[in-house]
């Protein structure tokens, strides 16, 4: 199992990042396709690493994240400044890319960004509080770029929470919550791809229930209000 989770050369620099973060790494929870690799043998191949951040803990953290990223060679991507970072992997054409998400209740009033620390933001994520609470510790071992052996423990979102996040992200993309400027891109990304959804059976293909475009994503699902209420309860519990 461990061998296929975060392949080389990204694995080495994933270990380097968590090792450099020290105790603050406990507030970084792996989500997205990399998290699915911990439970699914043939999960979708990706080399980017998505992290859900514990906002309140990191805001109180004495360790400053931006200088750590800069020291390790990470640069913010111009199109996603301060919530996506990348670094070139020495001796390779590949890159190590990381993206940060956080529960949407902490976002700015008129923006999708969540302020974490100076120079570090996160993208607001519906369902983020639940996904943070629904995570398990996993151990990953390997070597640092210096060749020194390294073993780290990392928090990984559980599969059922990942599925919830994916569906909510599809709904947000399809509903174009980011505005007219991103409409074309978000609508295209909001259409489920064949590796995300099972193909409907031919005898049911005409049924609206099995529409390949998933038209129900045009409207907020009825359970979304209940989900937001649960997130609010989790948030108030963490604050207290």
pLDDT tens string, the chain, 240 residues long: the values are: 455 578 888 999 999 999 999 999 999 999 988 888 887 776 666 778 999 999 999 999 999 999 999 999 999 998 888 999 999 999 888 999 999 999 999 999 888 899 999 999 999 988 899 889 999 999 999 999 999 999 999 999 998 888 888 787 776 666 655 555 555 555 555 455 544 444 444 444 454 444 444 444 444 555 555 666 666 676 666 666
Residues 127, 231 contacting (CB under 8 angstroms)? yes
What's the rounded Cα separation, in Å, for the pair 176 and 196? 20
pLDDT of residue 163: 84
pLDDT of residue 199: 43
Q: Name the class of domain 2-157.
A: alpha beta
pLDDT tens across 151-196, in order? Answer: 999 999 998 888 888 787 776 666 655 555 555 555 555 455 544 4
Query: Taking the domains of the chain in order of start, what are their residue ranges?
Result: 2-157, 163-239
pTM of the predicted protein model:
0.73
């Amino acid at each position: 199992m461990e061998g296929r989770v975060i392949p080389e050369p990204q694995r080495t620099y994933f270990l380097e990042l968590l090792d450099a973060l020290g105790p603050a790494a406990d507030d970084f929870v792996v989500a997205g396709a990399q998290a699915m690799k911990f439970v699914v043998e043939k999960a979708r191949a990706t080399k980017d690493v998505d992290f859900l951040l514990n906002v309140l803990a990191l805001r109180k953290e004495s360790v400053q994240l931006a200088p750590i990223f800069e020291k390790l060679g990470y640069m913010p991507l111009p199109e996603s400044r301060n919530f996506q970072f990348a670094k070139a992997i020495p001796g390779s054409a590949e890159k190590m890319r990381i993206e940060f998400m956080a529960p949407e209740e902490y976002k700015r009033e008129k923006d999708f960004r969540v302020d974490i620390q100076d120079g570090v933001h996160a993208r607001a994520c519906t369902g983020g509080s639940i996904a943070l609470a629904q995570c398990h510790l996993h151990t990953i071992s390997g070597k640092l770029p210096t060749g020194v052996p390294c073993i780290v423990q990392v928090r990984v979102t559980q599969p059922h929470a990942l599925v919830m996040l994916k569906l909510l992200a599809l709904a947000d993309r399809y509903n174009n919550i980011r505005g007219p400027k991103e409409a074309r891109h978000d609508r295209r990304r909001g259409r489920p791809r064949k590796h995300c959804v099972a193909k409907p059976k031919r005898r049911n293909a005409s049924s609206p229930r099995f529409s390949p475009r998933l038209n129900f994503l045009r409207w907020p699902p009825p359970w979304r209000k209940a989900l937001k209420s649960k997130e609010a309860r989790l948030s108030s519990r963490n604050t207290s």
